[in-house]
Structure 1
Amino acid sequence: MTIRPPAALSYAFAALCPLAATLPGTAFAQAADAPDSAGQARPVALSEQIEIVTVTAQKRKEDPNKVAMSISAISGAQLQAQHVNDITDLTRTVPNISFTAATGNGGAGPGTSNIEIRGISSGAGAATVGIYLGDVSLTVGNVYTMGAVEPKFFDIDRVEVLRGPQATLYGASSMGGTIKFVPNEPDLAEREFSTYAEASSLEGGSAGYLANAVANIPLVRDELALRIGVQAQRAGGFIDQVGNGGSVLAGNINKVDDQEVRIALKWKPTAALTVTPSVYYQKVDARDIAAFNIELPRYQAQKQVREPSKDILQTANVLVGWDLGAADLTSSTSHFRRKFDRTQNGSAYNSYSLSTFLTSTEDGGTAPPELIEAVAALPSAVYLNNRVRQLAQELRLASKPYDPARSPLTWLGGLYVSKQHTDINENDPIFGVNDTFAQFGFSSSDPDILPGANAGSFPGDNAFSGTFHYTERQSSVFGELNYYFTPSLHATVGARYLKGSSSLDQRNSLYLAGAGNTGSSRLSSTAFLPKYALTWEVDPAHTVYTTAAKGFRLGGSNVFVPPTTCAPDLEANGLEQGPATYAPDSLWSYEVGSKSRFLNNRLSINADVFYVKWTNIQQGVYLPTCAYTYNANAGDAVSKGVEFDIKARPFAGLTLSASGGYVKAELSNDEGIRNGVIGAVQGAQVQGVPKYNAAVSAQYNFAAFGDRSAFVAGGVQWVGSSKGSLNPEQTDYQRPAYHTVDLSAGLTLDRYKLSLFVKNALDDDTIIQHPQVASIVQGYRLMPRSIGMSVAARF
């Protein structure tokens, strides 16, 4: 039986990088010296302008200030310079993004988090934010115990965060927005070898490190090039496992190791044709989750079973670009696999649940109280073996950029098809259960002492076995048309017609499966997803826009809920059995914004307001008696808020920044509570969504030791309070606000760039999430203060 805690949360909270990471003008590269023709360093002239990071939000390269949507674009140089290593860092510095753990994951760990944008947060059903690595869609549903795929920030040209529905160009699940990890492409002209390494130490914890190397090799100049990179990383641990007497059994159990490999080949046989095949491999090996027991001394966890995980991602993509003269044709053929194996501590659920089926002799049964107590105390594990594989094909044809001498129209059209398989195998052994019954003179297969038991109830001490095979198919036709009334004013009309289907074939057996279930369920749906926008370039430096767009995500199938063990909960919700499927949900988003550059691009100010109406929300319904969850459509919500991003360079050496977002996301009716979602009443705050986040930073670049480039930087980030659950009775209902401070400094010596950094400099140890798992209240905090240094070199 799967562990279903009511509010399982994110596994680790890395210290935050300064908002300088979001500033094109604050990359460490600016503090470095560029090599001359002899390979020696020479001083870099500091620019007085803020660098512009181009984006491909609309499937073509553009200046983000000309795109009618709220976008944050962070270059790879900035990510590395500010020691941003994962999505959790990113969510603190980009407005109105948050993360929380997937529903029913039994504790937080790598690979279990969901990403939310603008308050569109749901731990049930399909994802609400699309995740892309280049042209490869990595979007997976909140299936059973998995969260979003989290590519590491390795050999990345930039990360683009697109806020608001992106269904027209990115399809289902991009209803809150889309995050694009755009890798570096092979360079056909220049040979280059770069390395980067950093080492750090956690306050009260263990050391961490990161090392990578990337080579770019033109094999045939201007025609064929190879790019290959490798990386290894360790995030230090700070939680100790202790025994009943308080003795430390293992230290720093929550450390995480990962390795990455990326290979890309770029072939340009003619001026009009480019073929770019690429592969990416990533393995994340977590020794345990980052939860500790609040009742115990500082950062200690008392558990009978450790909870490691191993998450392996493999992607392959062939991208073809063909200039046809009047238009550009792009083909993307992609495949990805995810292998995610993890262990959960099932002692508090499986063993206790089994003990409740034994009837004590004091109540007229046959089981002595000592046997019931012994069974309840047995250790139990939940072994989960998850496999995802997807094949996708996209073809798109785009007109040339706008030219008033040619046509007032630009356009883009395309086709997309995909098929995704998800296989899950679960086994829940209760270690020693057969021997425990025998020690008391009983058999675990005797129905007189254990109702419903038989000879096959606990083979090898296994109490539950389940296999689940999900299949999801999508096919779409999409397009966008821009009409320029004048060179400065144009309207956009876009649409996507989508057909999707999902199915689940499942088999549950052994004692804790109740009566067991072997069955199938199917669900098909279609959607028409329009988008409308109006863009006015007041002048080359100032743009205002308004957008209305629809977002959508597919429905799906539920895992089997045993009607025997879950009968009281189902009856309380007016059901005889768990629903086989749940329906799609959708939203409409309305946005007005402006993007301006002043003083010859020494000051930029972007701001927007948005209003989102979300209907038929997919919600998880938790059954407290049997610890199962099923998904249902329960109620509506409204999310509204503002975002701003200000960057300034008063003079060449100084860069200042401030950004933030405020969001008010609340349920707008009581349908949720009528469907069994406790606390889902009108006015309830959508769970997992901070009311605000904000950050300020400053970086000063200067010359040191003569002509050496150096910098100092600092930043503060604030995250507002949120609700970890809709249910006010849950321990994680109220999550506190918190803030962090980060500092860094760097110096260039010839080919080498050295830096020192401190993350969470004040060692803020606020317990920002505290869910209750069975009788244990767990705590999660920011990663402790981390002090480290890094060195980068380029040859």
Structure 2
Amino acid sequence: MLLAGGPAFAEEAYAADGQEEILVTATRQGEVRLQDVPMSISVIDTEAMERSGEDGLQSLAHRAASIMIQEDTPGINRIDMRGLVTAGVAGDSADISVRSMVGVYLDESSIAQFGGNPDLRVFDLERIEVLKGPQGTQFGAGAMSGTIRYITQKPDTNRFFGSAEGTLSTTRHGGTNYSVRGMTNIPIIADTLAFRGAIYKGEDSGFIDSIGMYNGVVAKNINETRNFQLRGAVRWYVTPDLVTDFSWTHARLEADGRNKGYSGLKPYQTSILVPEGSSSDFDLFNNTTRWDVGPVTLSSSTSFLKRKFTYTDSQESYPANYTGVLLPATFDSINKTETWTQEFRLSSSAPGPLQYNFGVYYEKLTRDFWEDIWAQDISELLVDAGYRSAGYSALYDGGFYKDSFFSATQAINESQIAIYGEVTYSPVESLDLTAGVRYFDWHQKFDLYFGAFTGVLEAGTPSVKNDSTSESGFNPRFRVSYKANDDLLFFAEASKGFRFGGVNQPVPPDLCASGMAQEGITETPSDFGADSLWSYSVGNKASFAGGRATANFTAFYIKWSDVQTKRLIPVCWYSFAENAGEVVSKGLEFDGSTRLFDGFNLSANASYTNAKSKGSIVNLTANSGDPAPFFPKWIVGAGVDYTTPLGAGSLLFEANWQVRSGFWNVFNHELSSARKTPSQDFLSASINYSLGNFEIGLFGTNLSGGTKYILRDLSYREAFYPGDSYNFYARPRTIGARVKASF
């Protein structure tokens, strides 16, 4: 099928009557034709991504407009939509109270995590839906600016089939990459019970070199990554009207370094004294049951998510600010998360003027975060610098190791219950009036321990905090849609998005006394509140030429209030969160496609986003009218696919090209730290020959070499690094081959 944001096999694009048949479940009321859904949605064809060698999270941003993904390294990332962003990706994600603004779902399960969304491989998926704008009524607080939904392929109870696929490629500035994947579907009881399993294993070469380790010898390709993913699913039709799905997804990611280089060095070079890297173990268990009961459908989704994420960052410059000596130092962290969720929904399923969807959602989350900054011989150096007395060891200050510079544990325990509902009334067949609301009641307990030199309240006294916070409220949504005819739909919507607040980390008064005095404060706030936004949008869904072409437009205006911002305390490098400032985002989005003739399809998408501060925002050093950082004003993409018979088989050519305008790393471009990432483009292409159950092809990603990096200035604690900024590099040009066999 021909999908917005990416081409696909032409023979699957249209039904016999010529109408496009892209089905989505964004309304959570069963499958609905995309052109009948009154909201801005991009649907990404995952098979086209696989054929083009794009199978990671970062690739999603190359296939849809209005979305930006910043990536430090696979597994450390930040997703933003519609310009609602104030800062760059946080490599350590150490402030565990900060929330994501974009929801990420695997089927019915929320998997989003601020600064560290799981980088699941794109394989054995039916599609990916990108819902733009707040989705709080249906998807909760994590969907403040939008939602990404991975929709997996489900077991088929009627036939046995499977596939095996392998790829081999090479990356410029790097080395050889490979991946193997397989899938099998096994009916156990015809029409009743089936199993589907899928497995993925891959390795991507590094492309960053380090000149700092191993006594000045250049270490090549230090950011190699390895992925392993396994999924098993069982579908059971208990009765023809009662179906239950069980699934388990496991993902293991290992990254040997970061995608980071320095402006003072050659391209794709960094300078670190100790190895960096990260690992992620992800397990998700889910049971979703749906029961069709006459005019209504009852559904239940139970999920358990367990994730362990470890991270090591070269941190030599942080202690150097106190000792004046650059020495091997590491930031190590272990982040463990467990989440239980239960959701019940009641939806109308019979035709009529009144349609509804009601639900109850419960979540229980625990998160334990351990971190330690270790620096070689730091205890002795602090004595030499006059900070501590002779014979000092970091253990005296409650550090985890003798030469800890900062040690900490943080733990949060959260629970929330939400009740939501949407009702659509159609006074006439062509007019739909929708109203929805979500009530939430959320509670958090927060426990913290800070020790070692930069964590203590005063020498010998670690910092301990036990606190709690809570939020409750209502978030409404209103929409009206008018269907002029079967091919033309207009809609207008007003909806509220929200994000929970949290508890602030304590600030050591001894270490930060002079910095607090500069800021004119004597104490820092214990917690910070929720921020929220109102989004207003109007748009259309239009089809032409009997469904052979589509053109969908959406215009939006967003007012983001009480923005959660960080206030930096000079000298000691600590910060705390507070609600301060307002951002307004205005823009226009387009998705379209056309089938010029049999076998030849074009698709296009574009967004114009103008997000600016409204009034000054001191914590962000923003003047009124400054543009939001890390988000392009223009994103324009185009795709083409062409299928033609060749011998006994068929040849498929696909290409996808996207251009992004340049963007800055801070609001205020007059600051000395301001850096601009130039405009970029990303081109992927593939050519595949299919002969029965066998497929062979060539592919290339970042063929133009136009996507290179996101610039970020060096902060005060990194003044010892070469150059005046560091870059998060994208994977350079990669070219490879693939083979696939189906049975």
- TM range, normalised to the smaller chain? over 0.9
How many residue pairs get matched? 722
Aligned to 2:320: 352
Residues 194-213 of structure 1 mapped to structure 2, 5 A cutoff: 194-213=163-182
CA contact (8 A) 1:420 1:472 kept: yes
C-alpha distance in structure 1 between counterparts of 2:285 and 2:214, whole Å: 50
Q: How does 1:160-309 map to 2 (within 5 A)?
A: 160-243=129-212, 247-309=216-278
- Asked whether the 8 Å contact 1:458–1:511 carries over to 2, the reply is no
Corresponding position of 2:92: none
* Shift in Å, 1:75: 3.2
What is the alpha-carbon distance in structure 1 between the residues aligned to residue 730 and residue 444 of structure 2? 38
Structure-2 change in CA distance of 1:398 and 1:47 (3 Å)? closer
User: Which residue is 1:427 aligned to?
Assistant: 372
Shift of 1:114: 1.5
- What corresponds to 1:130 in structure 2? 103
Give the match's secondary structure for 1:415.
Answer: strand
Distance in 1 between residues matched to 2:361 and 2:160, nearest whole Å = 36
More displaced 10-residue stretch of structure 1: 464-473 or 609-618: 464-473
The counterpart of 1:90, out of the listed 42, 55, 60, is 60
Q: Is the Cα–Cα contact under 8 Å of residues 453 and 511 in structure 1 kept in the other structure? A: no
Aligned pair in 2 of structure 1 residues 188, 95: CA closer, same or farther (>3 Å)? same
2:678 to 729, 736, 743: 736
Give, in angstroms, the shift of residue 545 of structure 1.
Answer: 0.7
Measured after TM superposition, the shift of residue 411 of structure 1 is 0.8
Aligned pair in 2 of structure 1 residues 711, 481: CA closer, same or farther (>3 Å)? same
The one of 628, 643, 646 equivalent to 2:592 is: 646
Q: How does 1:342-741 map to 2 (within 5 A)?
A: 342-349=311-318, 351-355=319-323, 376-401=325-350, 403=351, 407-434=352-379, 447=389, 454=396, 459-515=401-457, 516-670=462-616, 672-673=617-618, 677-704=619-646, 706-728=647-669, 729=671, 731=673, 733-741=675-683
Find out whether 1:81 has 2:51 as its counterpart.
Answer: yes
Q: Is the 8 A contact 1:445 1:453 kept in 2?
A: no
C-alpha displacement of 1:522: 1.4
Cα distance, 1:23–1:244 mapped onto 2, change above 3 Å: closer
Determine if contact 2:109/2:303 at 8 Å carries over to the other structure.
Answer: yes
Matched, 1:790 2:733: no
- In 2, the alpha carbon distance for the partners of 1:153 and 1:50 equals 27
Structure 1 CA distance, aligned partners of 2:236 and 2:258? 43
Q: Cα distance, 1:212 vs. partner? A: 0.6
CA contact (8 A) 1:93 1:694 kept: no
Q: Distance in 1 between matches of 2:74 and 2:54?
A: 16
SS of 1:222's equivalent in the other structure is coil
Shift of residue 52 of structure 1? Answer: 2.5
| CA distance in structure 1 between the partners assigned to 2:153 and 2:131 by the alignment | 19
- CA change 1:53–1:571 in 2 (3 A) is farther
Q: TM-score, normalised by structure 2?
A: 0.92
Which one has more relative contact order, counting CA pairs under 8 Å at least 6 apart? 1
Q: What is the CA-CA distance between 1:616 and the residue it aligns to? A: 0.3
**Hey, what's the Cα distance between the residues in 2 that align with 1:245 and 1:270?**
65
Residues 545 and 465 from structure 1, CA distance in 2 versus in 1: closer, same or farther, beyond 3 angstroms? same
User: CA 1:449–1:76 in structure 2 vs 1: closer, same or farther (change >3 Å)?
Assistant: same
The aligned residue for residue 57 of structure 1 is 26
Tell me the secondary structure at the aligned position of residue 512 of structure 1: coil
Match of 1:11 in 2: none
* Aligned partners of 1:50 and 1:649 also within 8 Å: no
Distance 1:503 1:686, change over 3 A: farther
| Alignment-derived partner of residue 113 in structure 1 | 77
Give the Å deviation of 1:596: 0.9
Tell me, in whole angstroms, the C-alpha distance in 2 between the residues paired with 1:45 and 1:722. Answer: 39
Amino acid at match of 1:659: N
Q: Deviations over 1:315-350 (max 9, x none)?
A: 00111111122211000011101100011111100x
- What TM-score results when the alignment is normalised by the length of structure 1? 0.86
1:15 equivalent in structure 2? none
Q: 1:618 to 1:222 in 2, by over 3 A?
A: same
Q: Distance in 2 between matches of 1:427 and 1:451?
A: 15
How far off its partner does 1:385 sit? 0.6
CA distance in 2, matches of 1:667, 1:559: 26
Partners in 2 of 1:118 and 1:497 — Cα distance? Answer: 25
Partner of 1:6: none
C-alpha contact (below 8 Å) 1:303/1:345 kept by paired residues: yes
| Deviation (angstroms), 1:741 | 2.6
Kindly, what percent of the aligned residue pairs are identical? 28
Mapped partners of 1:245, 1:215: distance in 2: 46
Q: Is the 8 A contact 2:5 2:638 kept in 1?
A: no
Q: In 2, distance between residues paired with 1:573 and 1:451?
A: 32
**Could you tell me how far apart the structure 2 residues matched to 1:452 and 1:340 are?**
26
- How many angstroms does 1:530 deviate by? 0.8
Displacement of 1:550: 0.7
Which letter maps to 2:665?
G
**Alignment partner, residue 370 of structure 1:** none
Give runs of aligned pairs for residues 313-352 of structure 1, distance below 5 A. Answer: 313-349=282-318, 351-352=319-320
Which stretch shows the higher mean deviation, 242-251 or 289-298? 242-251
Q: Does the CA-based 8 Å contact 1:49-1:649 persist in structure 2? A: no
Tell whether the 8 Å contact from 1:20 to 1:82 is kept in structure 2 after alignment.
no
